[in-house]
């Protein structure tokens, strides 16, 4: 079976100056889903426009009708399960049940500490995993039990939290859990309807395409083990590859920016190899506006992006 093709649209355009058109065009092109990043600001875009994920997705839901919408990914860095649940049921309602929540433990980017005092140390990987391990089950309960939930944990609490009428998608909207470590993979196995990875970040700087593919194959094997440990079939989970962060996209390794985006055929070859490993959805970044900071993970221009989506989908299906 050929993989579905989806996109990430960075929330950097004013809605009435190109933002709305990008989401509508993603639907017109036949993409499976359009996602956005849930950050307060991000990398080289920190001093440039960057809009909120949930309002952007709500606006996109109002001007589209079939394409799925979601985050890649939301994290405890900026979110509390109680308020996030309320926003999600609202978004799922506006969209008519088209929302997928991509969710991960988060990282230590500069905006990860925006909600904390300047003298606070960043969370360690263990602390992020601890919070994520509590965040996901509580969010799951909040979305499944809209009539009221009381819960008290180490990091998060809810007292008679009501989310009526609940999600449009029952029993709740799907989770796409981003994870590569054992604790995160166990959360994906138990709570996910999909699993997300960007590959092995250690290989981006000095790895090869073959090494990256082997690493991804190993991640899927470990996901299967986590599913098997709880009696779940790993085939129940969609497997999503967010592209742009494997060695093929590193311009220092490829001698330029192109890599899998050198041509439609180059992308089809890349996507096909990853589909053979087991990925059911390939996500590519839509072009960023002219004059934006260099972002080698994105397709260079709109024309090539549309050729990859239309011709690439046909070739993968064939």
d(CA 10, CA 295): 11
- pLDDT confidence band for 10 (50 / 70 / 90): very high
Sign of CA dihedral 37, 42, 46, 52: positive
pLDDT at 253: 77
Residue 257 pLDDT class (50, 70, 90 cuts)? low
Over residues 98-103, mean pLDDT: 98
Nearest to 5 by CA among 178, 188, 257, 243: 243
pLDDT band at 107 (very low <50, low <70, confident <90, very high): confident
Whether the pLDDT of residue 308 is over 90: the answer is: yes
Q: What average pLDDT does range 139-154 have in this prediction?
A: 96
Residue 219: band (very low, low, confident or very high) from pLDDT cuts 50, 70, 90: very high
Higher-pLDDT residue of 110 and 315 is: 315
Q: Is the pLDDT of residue 256 over 80?
A: no
Residue 230 has pLDDT above 70, yes or no: yes
Q: What confidence category does residue 79 fall into, taking pLDDT thresholds of 50, 70 and 90?
A: very high
Tell me what pLDDT residue 121 has. 84
Residues 6+ apart with CB under 8 A from 238: 176, 193, 194, 195, 280, 281
- Mean pLDDT, residues 228-236 taken together: 98
Is pLDDT above 90 for 157? Answer: yes
Per-residue pLDDT, averaged over 174-198, amounts to 98
Ranges assigned E (strand) in 171-286: 175-178, 194-197, 238-242, 281-285
* Confidence grade of residue 42 (pLDDT, cut at 50, 70, 90): confident
Q: Mean pLDDT over residues 37-56, rounded?
A: 93
List all residues 6 or more positions away from 111 whose beta carbon is below 8 Å from its beta carbon.
39, 40, 41, 42, 46, 77, 78
Domains and CATH numbers, the chain: 4-317 (3.20.20.30)
Q: What is the pLDDT of residue 109?
A: 76
Task: Provide the CB-side half-sphere exposure for 302 (13 A, CA).
Answer: 11
- The pLDDT of residue 259: 85
Give percent of the chain with pLDDT exceeding 90.
Answer: 81
Output the pTM of the full model: 0.95
Task: Provide the b/e sequence for 148-163 (b: ≥16 CB within 10 Å).
Answer: ebebeeeebebeebeb
The answer to whether 283 touches 7, Cβ cutoff 8 Å, is yes
């Amino acid at each position: 079976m050929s993989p579905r093709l989806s996109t990430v649209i960075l929330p950097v355009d004013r809605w009435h100056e190109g933002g709305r058109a990008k989401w509508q065009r993603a639907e017109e092109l036949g993409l499976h889903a359009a996602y956005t990043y849930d950050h307060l600001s991000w990398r080289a875009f920190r001093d440039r426009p960057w809009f909120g994920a949930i309002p952007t997705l709500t606006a996109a839901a109002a001007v589209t009708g079939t394409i799925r919408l979601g985050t890649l990914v939301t994290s405890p860095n900026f979110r509390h399960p109680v308020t996030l649940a309320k926003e999600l049921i609202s978004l799922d309602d506006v969209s008519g049940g088209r929302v997928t929540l991509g969710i991960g433990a988060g990282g230590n980017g500069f905006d990860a500490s925006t909600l904390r005092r300047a003298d606070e140390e960043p969370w360690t990987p263990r602390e992020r995993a601890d919070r994520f391990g509590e965040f996901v089950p509580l969010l799951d309960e909040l979305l499944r039990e809209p009539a009221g939930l009381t819960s008290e944990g180490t990091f998060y609490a809810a007292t008679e939290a009501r989310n009526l009428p609940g999600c449009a998608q029952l029993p709740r909207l799907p989770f796409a859990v981003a994870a590569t470590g054992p604790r995160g993979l166990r959360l994906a196995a138990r709570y996910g309807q999909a699993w997300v990875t960007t590959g092995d970040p250690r290989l981006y700087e000095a790895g090869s395409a073959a090494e990256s593919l082997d690493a991804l194959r190993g991640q899927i094997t470990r996901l299967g083990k986590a599913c098997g440990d709880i009696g779940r079939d790993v085939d129940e989970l969609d497997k999503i590859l967010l592209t742009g962060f494997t060695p093929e996209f590193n311009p220092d390794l490829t001698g330029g920016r192109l890599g899998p985006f050198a041509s439609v055929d180059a992308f089809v070859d890349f996507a096909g190899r990853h589909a053979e490993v087991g990925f059911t959805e390939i996500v590519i970044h839509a072009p960023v506006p002219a004059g934006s900071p260099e972002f080698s993970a994105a397709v260079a221009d709109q024309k090539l992006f549309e050729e990859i989506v239309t011709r690439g989908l046909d070739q993968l299906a064939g």
